[in-house]
Amino acid sequence: MINFWYVLIGASLIAATAGIVGVWLVLRREALRGDVVSHSVLAGICTAFLAYREKNGWILLLGASVSAWLSLWTMDFLQAHTKLKKDTIMALILSFFFAVGLWILVKIQSLNNSAKSGLDSFLFGKTASLLPQDIFVALIVFFLVAIINLFVKKWLFWATFDEEYSESIGYSVKFVRNIVTFMSIVSIVMGLQAVGVVLMSALLITPATIALVLSPKNLSNTFLWSICVNVFVVLIGTLISYFFPKSPTGPWIVIFCSLLAFGVFAMKKNR
């Protein structure tokens, strides 16, 4: 029973983190960038596992960060040095890194290692498989993201709203881009365990979109809504995952959250 509460707390932390970061991704029009990152981290996670042969949160986080950074760097490089369109580049990079990740994942599954169990939950997500040490990592990541937002909020806000003005007063836009990338990588790596690689971007984007529809005027309220919606849907998904271990959590969460979003859009449209 204690494990059950652990899982609930861990899932809530993951959801709250994704809720905060998602708002920035939506406001900065980087939703698809988030999708590329979440698909590419699988390669990093699996490589890190292959190297250390254990499912240690920190090591997986390191591997994920490296592959996420690599995918973003490749994307920016292609954009700067080719005439390819942005969406083409994103589709290209996403599928390449995801393919690499899947390839390594299949390799791992053919290995004889007891620790490999649970790694496949990165694909479709399984919150019930959260371990106490994962929850510790989730807690730290949540506090990190919360503290960044508390202290750098003005900077994030200004550089997102008005890039040129922000540069003109010496508030670097590049710094904000890096901060947002950093926050999305850590929140994606945490969220993977809840909904899996394929659906991770939905966990970031959908609650943030709902929040922006519900509170289009006040940024603080947008954050509150986004966090609340995300925690709510993730908790429901977790309960399902706990009581019906055979059903995949990720799809449950995303379907539920998307239906909620459609409902909110329809409701607001009528007004």
Partner 1 sequence: MLSFDVRDKDDKNDKVNYVVETNNLCVSYGKNQILKDFSCRFPVNQIIGIVGANGSGKSTLVKALMRIVPIEKGKILIFGEENIRKIRQRIAYLPQRNNVDWDFPASVLDVVLMGFYKQVPWYKPFRKKHKALALSYLEKVQMVDFANKHISELSGGQQQRVFLARAFAQEPDLLILDEPLVGVDAYTEKIIVELLQELKKQGKSILMIHHHVETFKDYFDYLLMLKDGKKVAFGKTEDIFNDETLYQVFGFRQITL
What is the signed CA dihedral for 188, 190, 196, 200, rounded to 10 degrees? -30
CB-nearer residue toward partner 1: 84 or 99: 84
146 touches partner 1 by CB under 8 A:
no
Compose the 200-239 pattern: x for residues touching partner 1 by CB under 8 A, - for all others: ------------x--xxxxx-xx-----------------
24 touches partner 1 by CB under 8 A:
no
Question: Which residues have C-beta within 8 Å of that of residue 43, sequence separation ≥ 6?
Answer: 67, 97, 98, 100, 101, 104
Helix, strand or coil, per DSSP, at residue 150: helix
164 touches partner 1 by CB under 8 A:
yes
Q: Which stretch binds partner 1 (CB under 8 A): 71-79, 121-129, 147-155, 251-259?
A: 147-155
CB 239 within 8 A of CB 58: no
In terms of Cβ atoms closer than 10 Å to its own Cβ (0-12, 13-18, 19+), residue 144 is: middle
Return the residue of 2, 169, 174, 243 that touches partner 1, per CB under 8 A: 169
155 touches partner 1 by CB under 8 A:
yes
Min dist. Cβ of residue 271 to partner 1 (A): 15
144 touches partner 1 by CB under 8 A:
no
> With b meaning 16 or more CB within 10 Å and e meaning fewer, what string describes 86-106?
eeebbeebbeebbebbbebbe
Q: Which stretch binds partner 1 (CB under 8 A): 49-57, 59-67, 167-175, 198-206?
A: 167-175
CA 154 to each of CA 43, 59, 151, 162: distance values in angstroms, whole numbers, following the listed order: 34, 32, 8, 12
149 touches partner 1 by CB under 8 A:
no
CB 207 within 8 A of CB 97: no
CB 223 within 8 A of CB 69: no
154 touches partner 1 by CB under 8 A:
yes
CB atoms under 10 Å from CB of 234, counted, come to: 33
Return the residue of 69, 96, 158, 232 that touches partner 1, per CB under 8 A: 158
Min dist. Cβ of residue 77 to partner 1 (A): 15
136 touches partner 1 by CB under 8 A:
no
Q: Where does this chain bind partner 1 (CB under 8 A)?
A: 27, 151-152, 154-155, 157-158, 160-165, 167-171, 212, 215-219, 221-222
